[in-house]
Amino acid sequence: MDLTTITPLILTYNEEANIDRTLGRLTWAERVVVVDSYSTDGTVDLATSYDNVDLVQREFDDHTSQWNYGLDQVETEWVLSLDADYQVPLEFVDEVKGLTPSSAVAGYRATFQYCVFGQSLRANLYPPRIVLFRTGRARYEQDGHTQRLSVDGTVESLGTTLRHDDRKSLDRWFDNQRQYAHLEAQKLRSADNLELPDRLRKTDVWGPLLVLLYCLFWKGLILDGWPGWYYTLQRTYAELVIALTHLDVHLRGSLDEGDDSTEGTP
């Protein structure tokens, strides 16, 4: 695959802690599109210091709309969709250069090596994601707190992993989890056909407990020392916030029903 047919696409908002490491691995691209949500830190200055970066700004409403707006800025046949805390290793670029996709192939999914402050973990709960795809044959759709890419065609898997290494502040992470929890709770309430993880979440009990045990022992993160504990506690906290948010809505709904039932009672 000719690298000139690929445009990396990145969304940013106050990604000063990550963006320089990410863009530093994309100097092979003729053009990188960064869609910034009016960052207030040094993100814009860092991004525009790269000659191949084309930065545009758009007020954030939701991730799906922001990603699709970014796709509309891409002019090449292929797009490499990246979060601001992803790093693309040279081995990944070499693998992409060797691809010869047929017309039926619309995209490629990649797996991720999760890092905590630069230290790689032996495992993670981060799912594979379609990162490289034909620009004109894919759009993003909302799925809970995140977004799902819908592609027109077959999807193949890449052998080289990307690195996920988010170094934003813990306060920022807490704020994000509260926002994500409301979207996930809404998904749990409205969706009919849930997969097993979401069915466990809907119990408001088993999700956090099983994530803790699953990360530490089944995935073996207890062997990664404090970074393994850090990741496990993050995932457990995220599940607790989802459970509490979902339960809060349920209990408040029950309270409202009780109030309605006594309306007009002397």
pLDDT by residue for the chain (266 residues), tens digit each?
999 999 999 999 999 999 999 999 999 999 999 999 999 999 999 999 999 999 999 999 999 999 999 999 999 999 999 999 999 999 999 999 999 999 999 999 999 999 999 999 999 999 999 999 999 999 999 775 567 899 999 999 999 999 999 999 999 999 988 888 887 777 777 777 777 777 777 777 888 999 999 999 999 999 999 999 999 999 999 999 988 888 888 888 766 655 554 443 33
Cα dist. 95→91, 108, 118, 160 in Å? 6, 11, 23, 7
Instruction: State the DSSP string of 49-111.
Output: TSTTEEEEE---S-HHHHHHHHHHH--SSEEEEE-TTEE--HHHHHHHHT----TTEEEEEE-
Rounded CA separation 21/9 (Å): 15
**What is the spatial distance between Cα 13 and Cα 36, in angstroms, rounded to a whole number?**
6
pLDDT at 262: 40
What is the pLDDT, as a whole number, of residue 257? 58
CA distances from 197 to 127, 138, 200, 262 (A): 13, 26, 5, 38
Please tell me the distance from the alpha carbon of residue 88 to that of residue 11, in angstroms, as a whole number. 16
29, 3 contact by CB (below 8 A) = yes
pLDDT at residue 246, rounded to an integer: 84
Which residues sit opposite 155 in a β-bridge? 107
Q: What is the pLDDT of residue 78?
A: 98
